[in-house]
Structure 1
Amino acid sequence: MPARSTKLPELLRSLEEGTLLLTPDAAAAASWRRLHDDAQRQAGKQLWQPANILCWNEWLRRLHTELVVAGHEERILLNAAQEHSLWREVVLADPEHSLLAPADSLAELAFDGFRTASAWQVETNLRHTAVTHDARRFAAWVEHFQRMTSRDHLLPGAQLERALVERLRQHHVPLLKRILLLGFDEVLPAQVHLLDAFASAGTRVVELAYDHARPVAHSATVLPDETKELRFGLRWLRHYLDAHPGHHAAIVVPDLQEIAPTLEPLLGEIFAPWIQDVAAENTIVPWQNDIASPLRNNLMVRSAIDLLAWVLGPLSLQRLSALLTSPYTGLAPDPDAAARFDAFVIQPCMLLRPEMTLFFAQQLAREKPQHAAIAEWLYKLHQFAMETAALPPRRSFAQWTDTLWLLLKTASWADARPLDAQETEVREAFASVVDQMATLDFQPQRVTLTEFAREFERQLGATATPTHTAANIHIMTPEAAASQVFDALLFLRATDDKLPSPLRAHPLIDRNLQRAHGMPGTDGSLDLQRAQRLFAKLLQAAPTALFTTAAESPQAKLRPSPFLSTIPEVAACTLLPPEQRDETVQLESFADIEPLPLLPSPQVRGGARVLKQQAACGFLAFAELRLGGHDIESGDAGFNAIDSGNVLHEALEEFWRETKSQAELLAMDQQQRHQAIVDAVDKALQRYRTQDRWDVAYLALYRERMISLLHAWMPFELERGPFTVIAFEEKTTASIGPLELTLRMDRIDRVRDNGMVYIDYKTGASATPSSWAGDRPEEPQLPLYALQGEVAQLSGLAFARLRAGEQMQYQGWAIEDGILPEKGSTTVDFEDHVAAWKDALTNLAHQFADGRAEVAPKDPTVNCKHCAQRLLCRVNIDALLQHVEESEEASHG
Structure 2
Amino acid sequence: MSLRPLFQDMDSIARLLAEDVAILTPNRRLSRAIREAEALERQTSGQTVWPSSTVLPLRQYWIERWRFAVTRGFLAPYTLLDSAAQRLVWRQVIDQDSEGRFSLLSPTRAAALCQEASERLALWRIDPGDADTRQLFSFDEDSMAFLRWEKAFRSVLKDMDAMTPEQALEALLNCPEAMDQAVAIMSDDDLPPLHDALCRAAGECHRVAPPRQEGRVLPLRGFSEPRAELQAAARWCREQYLKDPGGRYAVVLSDMQNDRDRLEFFLRQEFDCLSKNYASLPVNFATGFRLDRVPLVRDALRILELSLPEVTVETVITLLQSRFVSPFKIHAEKREASLRRLRELARERVPQHVLHGVLEELFDRSLGAPPWDLVLQRSTNGAWQKRARSPSQWLEPFKAILNAWGWPYGTALDSLEYQQAVQWRETLDAFAAQDHVVAELSLAEAIQSLRELLGEQQFQPRTDDQAVQVLGPLETTGLQFDALWITGMSADRWPAAAQPNPYLPHSLQRQSGMPHADAAWERRWAEARWTQWLQGATEIQISYVNLVDGSEVLPSSLLSDGAVTAETSESRPDDRWLTQRAASTFESLALAAVPVSDEERVSQGVGTSVLEQQSACPFLAFAAARLAATPLPAPVAGLLPSERGTLLHRALYTLWGEIKDSENLHRIDESELEAVIDAAVGFALQGIDKARLDVLGGALLDLEQQRLRRVLLRWLEVERARDEGFTVVAREEPREHVLGGLRLRLRLDRVDELSDGSTVIVDYKSGSPGSVSQWLGDRPARPQLPLYALLEPFASGIAYASLKPGMEGFKGIGKRAFEAGIASARDHVDDDGDGETQDAPENAMEALRGHWRKALAELAEEFIGGISPVDPTVEACRYCQRFSLCRLGEELL
Q: Could you tell me how far 1:548 is from its partner in structure 2?
A: 1.6
**CA 1:721–1:79 in structure 2 vs 1: closer, same or farther (change >3 Å)?**
closer
Aligned to 2:286: 290
Letter in 2 for 1:78: L
Letter in 2 for 1:108: A
Pairing of 1:323-362 with structure 2 (within 5 A): 323-330=319-326, 340=336, 344-347=340-343, 349-351=344-346, 353-362=347-356
1:220 aligned onto 2:217 = yes
1:474 to 461, 469, 473: 469
1:81 to 84, 89, 92: 84
**CA 1:866–1:370 in structure 2 vs 1: closer, same or farther (change >3 Å)?**
farther
Pairing of 1:687-706 with structure 2 (within 5 A): 688-692=691-695, 694-695=696-697, 698=700
Partner of 2:122, secondary structure, is: helix
1:328, 1:335 → 2: CA distance? 19
**CA 1:77–1:637 in structure 2 vs 1: closer, same or farther (change >3 Å)?**
closer
Query: Does the aligned pair in 1 maintain the 2:360–2:373 contact within 8 Å?
Result: no
Query: Does the aligned pair in 1 maintain the 2:748–2:788 contact within 8 Å?
Result: no
Query: Does the aligned pair in 1 maintain the 2:273–2:279 contact within 8 Å?
Result: no
Aligned to 1:249: 249
Pairing of 1:293-442 with structure 2 (within 5 A): 294-318=290-314, 320-330=316-326, 340=336, 344-347=340-343, 349-351=344-346, 353-367=347-361, 379=373, 382-415=376-409, 418-442=412-436
Q: Could you tell me how far 1:251 is from its partner in structure 2?
A: 1.9
Question: What whole-Å deviation, never above 9, does each CA across 1:476-524 have from its counterpart, x for those lacking one?
Answer: 3332221545454323344676556677766655667667766556799
Runs of at least 5 residues in structure 2 that lack an aligned partner in the other structure? 1-6, 655-675, 717-725, 750-760, 815-841
Q: Could you tell me how far 1:146 is from its partner in structure 2?
A: 3.6
Moved more, 642-651 or 457-466: 642-651
Question: What whole-Å deviation, never above 9, does each CA across 1:109-154 have from its counterpart, x for those lacking one?
Answer: 3322332232233337744344323587355654544444344422
**CA 1:704–1:335 in structure 2 vs 1: closer, same or farther (change >3 Å)?**
same
Query: Does the aligned pair in 2 maintain the 1:762–1:799 contact within 8 Å?
Result: no
Query: Does the aligned pair in 2 maintain the 1:78–1:157 contact within 8 Å?
Result: yes
Query: Does the aligned pair in 1 maintain the 2:495–2:556 contact within 8 Å?
Result: no
**CA 1:638–1:205 in structure 2 vs 1: closer, same or farther (change >3 Å)?**
closer
Partner of 1:481, secondary structure, is: coil
**CA 1:851–1:513 in structure 2 vs 1: closer, same or farther (change >3 Å)?**
closer
Question: What whole-Å deviation, never above 9, does each CA across 1:141-187 have from its counterpart, x for those lacking one?
Answer: 54544444344422221122233344444xxx5965x5444347334
1:455 aligned onto 2:454 = no
Aligned to 1:240: 240
Letter in 2 for 1:162: E
Pairing of 1:561-600 with structure 2 (within 5 A): 561=558, 595-597=592-594, 599=596
**CA 1:196–1:465 in structure 2 vs 1: closer, same or farther (change >3 Å)?**
same
1:317, 1:447 → 2: CA distance? 25
**CA 1:541–1:779 in structure 2 vs 1: closer, same or farther (change >3 Å)?**
closer
1:786, 1:108 → 2: CA distance? 68
Aligned to 2:721: none
Moved more, 304-313 or 510-519: 510-519
1:635, 1:513 → 2: CA distance? 49
Question: What whole-Å deviation, never above 9, does each CA across 1:362-410 have from its counterpart, x for those lacking one?
Answer: 4224445679999979755532343445544332222234433433333
Aligned to 2:56: 54
Query: Does the aligned pair in 2 maintain the 1:426–1:466 contact within 8 Å?
Result: no
1:702, 1:304 → 2: CA distance? 37
1:111 aligned onto 2:115 = yes
Letter in 2 for 1:75: Y
Pairing of 1:544-559 with structure 2 (within 5 A): 544-549=538-543, 553=547, 554-558=551-555
2:702, 2:47 → 1: CA distance? 78
1:334, 1:27 → 2: CA distance? 49
Cα RMSD (Å): 6.5
Letter in 2 for 1:346: L
Letter in 1 for 2:254: P
1:767, 1:475 → 2: CA distance? 51
Q: TM-score, normalised by structure 2?
A: 0.68
Letter in 2 for 1:847: E
Pairing of 1:712-727 with structure 2 (within 5 A): none
1:191 aligned onto 2:206 = no
Moved more, 294-303 or 765-774: 765-774
1:66, 1:448 → 2: CA distance? 38
**CA 1:20–1:335 in structure 2 vs 1: closer, same or farther (change >3 Å)?**
farther
Question: What whole-Å deviation, never above 9, does each CA across 1:269-327 have from its counterpart, x for those lacking one?
Answer: 456336696x7673774445435565444444444444444422333445555554455
Question: What whole-Å deviation, never above 9, does each CA across 1:1-21 have from its counterpart, x for those lacking one?
Answer: xxxx98337857976887644
Letter in 2 for 1:360: V
Query: Does the aligned pair in 2 maintain the 1:496–1:562 contact within 8 Å?
Result: no
**CA 1:583–1:359 in structure 2 vs 1: closer, same or farther (change >3 Å)?**
closer
Aligned to 2:867: 852
Q: Could you tell me how far 1:579 is from its partner in structure 2?
A: 11
1:844, 1:101 → 2: CA distance? 56
Query: Does the aligned pair in 2 maintain the 1:552–1:558 contact within 8 Å?
Result: yes
Query: Does the aligned pair in 1 maintain the 2:114–2:503 contact within 8 Å?
Result: yes
1:325, 1:499 → 2: CA distance? 44
**CA 1:370–1:11 in structure 2 vs 1: closer, same or farther (change >3 Å)?**
farther
Pairing of 1:495-514 with structure 2 (within 5 A): 498=493
Partner of 1:132, secondary structure, is: helix
Aligned to 1:155: 163
Q: Could you tell me how far 1:546 is from its partner in structure 2?
A: 0.3
Partner of 1:272, secondary structure, is: helix
Query: Does the aligned pair in 1 maintain the 2:223–2:229 contact within 8 Å?
Result: yes
**CA 1:208–1:408 in structure 2 vs 1: closer, same or farther (change >3 Å)?**
farther
1:531, 1:274 → 2: CA distance? 32
Query: Does the aligned pair in 2 maintain the 1:221–1:572 contact within 8 Å?
Result: no
Partner of 1:356, secondary structure, is: strand
Question: What whole-Å deviation, never above 9, does each CA across 1:657-682 have from its counterpart, x for those lacking one?
Answer: xxxxxxxxxxxxxxxx99x9999979
2:774, 2:525 → 1: CA distance? 77
Moved more, 265-274 or 761-770: 761-770
1:101, 1:762 → 2: CA distance? 43
Q: Which protein has the larger Cα radius of gyration, Structure 1 or Structure 2?
A: 1
Query: Does the aligned pair in 2 maintain the 1:254–1:477 contact within 8 Å?
Result: yes
Query: Does the aligned pair in 1 maintain the 2:284–2:465 contact within 8 Å?
Result: yes
Aligned to 2:137: 133
Query: Does the aligned pair in 1 maintain the 2:289–2:458 contact within 8 Å?
Result: yes
Query: Does the aligned pair in 2 maintain the 1:312–1:450 contact within 8 Å?
Result: yes
1:511, 1:612 → 2: CA distance? 63
Q: Could you tell me how far 1:78 is from its partner in structure 2?
A: 1.7
Partner of 1:346, secondary structure, is: helix
Aligned to 2:102: 98
Letter in 2 for 1:851: G
Question: What whole-Å deviation, never above 9, does each CA across 1:331-356 have from its counterpart, x for those lacking one?
Answer: 69999999846753322x143x4332
Query: Does the aligned pair in 2 maintain the 1:296–1:302 contact within 8 Å?
Result: yes
Query: Does the aligned pair in 2 maintain the 1:252–1:476 contact within 8 Å?
Result: yes
Q: TM-score, normalised by structure 1?
A: 0.68
Partner of 1:123, secondary structure, is: coil
Percent identity between the aligned chains?
19
